[in-house]
Amino acid sequence: MAANRLYRKMSGGVTAPMGFKASGVRAGIKHSRPDLALIFSEMPARTTAIYTQNVVKGEHIAVCRKHLADNKCQAVVVNSGCANACVGPQGAKDAITMTKLAGRAMGIPHEDVLVCSTGTIGIRLPMAKIRAGVAAAAKTLEAGGGRAAAKAIMTTDTYHKEYALELNLGGRKVRIGGMAKGSGMIEPNMATMLAFITTDANVSASALSMCLKQAAEQSFNRVSVDGDQSCNDTVILMANGAAGTPLLTSRHSDWKKFSEAVQKVCHELAVMLIKDGEGATKFVKVSVHNARSNDEARAAARAIANSLLVKTSWFGGDPNWGRIIDAAGYSGAFFDSRKTDITFNGVAAVRNGQRSRGVSLKTLEKIYRKKEIAIDVNLKAGKGSHFVFTCDCSFDYVRINSEYMT
Amino acid sequence: MAANRLYRKMSGGVTAPMGFKASGVRAGIKHSRPDLALIFSEMPARTTAIYTQNVVKGEHIAVCRKHLADNKCQAVVVNSGCANACVGPQGAKDAITMTKLAGRAMGIPHEDVLVCSTGTIGIRLPMAKIRAGVAAAAKTLEAGGGRAAAKAIMTTDTYHKEYALELNLGGRKVRIGGMAKGSGMIEPNMATMLAFITTDANVSASALSMCLKQAAEQSFNRVSVDGDQSCNDTVILMANGAAGTPLLTSRHSDWKKFSEAVQKVCHELAVMLIKDGEGATKFVKVSVHNARSNDEARAAARAIANSLLVKTSWFGGDPNWGRIIDAAGYSGAFFDSRKTDITFNGVAAVRNGQRSRGVSLKTLEKIYRKKEIAIDVNLKAGKGSHFVFTCDCSFDYVRINSEYMT
């Protein structure tokens, strides 16, 4: 991660950059919480997006793809409480209608409006409520509306998630802001969530696309709450150029700086997703080193992060490293367990495949009582490495997900 | 599964077949429960085994492989409470020592003794206790000792698991009996468990091996509690020929009948494993039909069976089919979700990718309150199919696995 001198954290989220407005309202899709958000740019913004790899897809995704054929948009309308997935042909029509309602309310072509939905699968959007909600959201758009929007996209999230920073590009300040929602169905490869990132920098379409892919690979694609990958995951990055900086391409000397700043915003949002994972009481970074390949390192890190036995041992504060080495063992990664080292927050728990002498169970238990645990697994089988951010599995995870209504 | 006329259920387990004795004692590896079992055949038995595919392996596995190079053995010594895995070079020595102790106590070559361990990873076998325990177990071997053995191999199992049946082979009665233990770290591909099957039929080594592979593929390889595959899984099938039947090969007309009977024993033991899965309150059969291939069907069935969101919805009695179709969607199976059908106990929940009209939520909730649920997913993408037996994820699963001591 880049050093602080490259960028400076600021308050706010998607409306921190110039030229963006947002709002969040109660449309009535959910009982009594805000459930409809708008993001609006005063001028068309170059825009790129990435989507879930689930073969089952929410209806908004096809609409986003179509409306982004020209790599630009000017607004995004988002609802929570209903995924608009698996509802038959009406779902696609409803998604398009949402863009039309939003476009009309803001006076822009509906092809410049993107749409996202999150919530329960299999129920139809209540279009009368959406209609009224979009109108209300358009009326309440404001330059400080980022927080209201961040609240309106929440589902089982316990707090809204925003992050913003500013940096200098060619002598001028530009800002990057973002918001995201979790918090179940979180798994790498377009982790289950929505995230919206805005910037007032002026960036070429291809540079923007490359930038988001790289940033997601280091952030959203490395988080896992429960191993379930949603059918609605979407990340959208909009660059409206309002800061007046010259066009940034990937050949520009400032490219790396900008790219790292976008990555920083994505990283912070991804970490918030995990910390607010359903029922999460612990934040864990699982790193696998020296696997035969990066792919095998990824497989091992994900197997460990998604192992129910490992997750419950984190919750219980039981430093049961046997479950960790076992999960690596069935991940598909190949290694000789007699050589494996494992550390917890840098303290050796396992050396060459067995309990580390001289490190007491008490010491390991003390580490496992911390809120943040770093687990490093050295397979000594090659040069591949990968890390994943994840959380434990608690009683509350089971409670939240067994009570959550269809 | 074969019809009843082919075989008849009988009481007992591994000592139901003639010529087998067994015992189970408290060696003191665990606090106050039986933890050491012996199975003994009065004559050498043709024997075959299958093992975990985890690259991390308990030390007993190498010893079993070596001692089964001649496809025969006469006894198995099993301990619970300690996996004898990830303990360094001493582990291999301890496993061999166990076979020597048992061989000496029973007066047979140690190469004719197999050894299995189950329990916590990373701690050494307490060999002084094992030594005394093996001696005590050898002294208490008896023809009715199957149940004591089945109890001594338990870990977090809440009850012992035995099954036996008899059938006619060429005019003579033969018996097949088995015992197994679960109940966490259960996942297809040598599900996490130990199982021991005995028969007094006379079966060729190659037929025995084929028979166990086929039976496991239809039973133990189709069960999943938590998706965690143990490093100690082992299934052993011993045929001692004590019934006096002629040698059975895979070309014999009775082969199919015998093979189906072995499969029945494995099936019953596998079902018991799931029903006693850690914290399980529901038994669920997930079948995927008409995937593009059997492999894709397996991937989809396993993704559904292992999805934490799906498992918690079973626990909560919430017929949330959206989570099921979502899990199939990220499994790697390819299909068009607009064509997918899903039934719960034969009742249509989803037709062509959307809620089945005319079937109320109440009806589905009523099915989800049952102790056994059959979920059938028709992907309409090809001819591949697969099924998996699994259970829900409850508060108790989290409790058991967050409290279980290292």
- Positions of A marked active-site: 192
The nearest alpha carbon in chain B to A327 belongs to B228
Q: What is the pLDDT of residue A312?
A: 87
Cβ atoms of B236 and B75 within 8 Å: the answer is: no
Q: Chain B contacts of A233, Cβ < 8 Å?
A: none
Nearest-Cα residue of chain B relative to residue A364: B406
- Contact A227/B306, CB-based, under 8 Å? yes
Mutation target to probe the A interface, by most A beta carbons within 10 A, among B296, B401, B405 is: B401
Contact B361 A319 (CB under 8 A): no
pLDDT tens digit sequence for A32-50: 899 999 999 999 999 999 8
CB atoms within 10 A of CB B350: 23
CA-based nearest distance A191→chain B, Å: 11
Asked whether the predicted pLDDT for residue A231 surpasses 80, the reply is no
Mutate to test the interface with A, among B120, B312, B314, B391 (most CBs of A within 10 A): B312
Quote the pLDDT of residue B191.
38
The SS3 assignment for B372 reads strand
Neighbours of A247 (CB within 10 A): 12
Model confidence at A405: pLDDT above 60: no
Beta carbons of A86 and B350 less than 8 Å apart = yes
Going by C-beta distance under 8 Å and a sequence separation of 6 or more, which residues neighbour residue B337?
Answer: A55, A56, A57, A86, B325, B329, B353
ipTM of model: 0.77
Predicted pLDDT of residue A400: 74
B56 touches chain A (CB under 8 A): yes
Averaged pLDDT for residues B254-282 = 88
pLDDT at res. A4: 53
Max mean pLDDT range (A313-322, B55-64, B336-345)? B336-345
Categorize the per-residue pLDDT at B190 as very low, low, confident or very high, splitting at 50, 70 and 90: very low
CA distance A286 to A269: 18
pTM: 0.81
Q: Which residue of A has its CA nearest to B402?
A: A316
What would the two tokens of residue A308 be?
A: 């129910």
CA-to-CA distance for B152 and B26, rounded, in angstroms?
A: 8
Query: Residues 277-336, chain A: which have Cβ within 8 Å of B?
Result: 306-309, 312-313, 315-323, 325-330, 333-335
CB atoms A316 and B184 under 8 Å? no
Q: Do A355 and B123 touch (CB under 8 A)?
A: yes
CA distance A51 to A23: 23
- Distance CA(B194)–CA(B185), nearest Å, equals 12
Work out the average pLDDT over A265-283.
Answer: 86
In the predicted structure, residue B398 carries a pLDDT above the cut 80:
no
User: How far B308 CA lies from chain A's nearest CA (Å)?
Assistant: 6
Q: Find, among A206, A352, A375, A170, the residue nearest to A284 by Cα.
A: A375
pLDDT in tens, A126-174: 999 999 999 999 999 999 999 999 999 988 788 899 999 999 998 899 9
Q: Do A228 and B330 touch (CB under 8 A)?
A: yes
Give the pLDDT band (50/70/90) at residue A185: low
Residue located via tokens 């009982």? A31
Say if the Cβ atoms of B352 and A321 lie within 8 Å.
Answer: no
* Residue pairs spanning A and B at CB distance below 8 A: 212
Per-residue pLDDT tens digits for A84-132: 988 889 999 999 999 999 999 999 999 999 999 988 888 899 999 999 9
Once rounded to an integer, what is the mean pLDDT over residues B89-104? 97
Interval A365-386 mean pLDDT: 96
pLDDT of residue B2: 42
- Lowest-confidence pick of A61-70, B177-186, B260-269, B337-346: B177-186
For residues B98-119, b (16+ Cβ closer than 10 Å) or e, as one string?
bbebbbebbebebbbbbbbbbb
Q: How many residues does chain B have?
A: 406
A93 Cβ neighbours under 8 A, 6+ residues apart: none
Contact across the interface for B308 and A397, Cβ inside 8 Å: yes
What confidence tens digit (pLDDT) does each residue in B27-85 have? 999 888 999 999 999 999 999 998 888 888 889 999 999 999 999 999 999 999 898 98
In the block, which residue shows the tokens 């608690």?
A394
pLDDT averaged over every residue in chain B: 89
Q: Is B350 on the interface with A (CB under 8 A)?
A: yes
Residues 6+ apart with CB under 8 A from A346: A374, A376
The alpha carbon of residue B13 is apart from the nearest alpha carbon of chain A, in Å, by 30
The arithmetic mean of pLDDT across residues A71-87, rounded, is 92
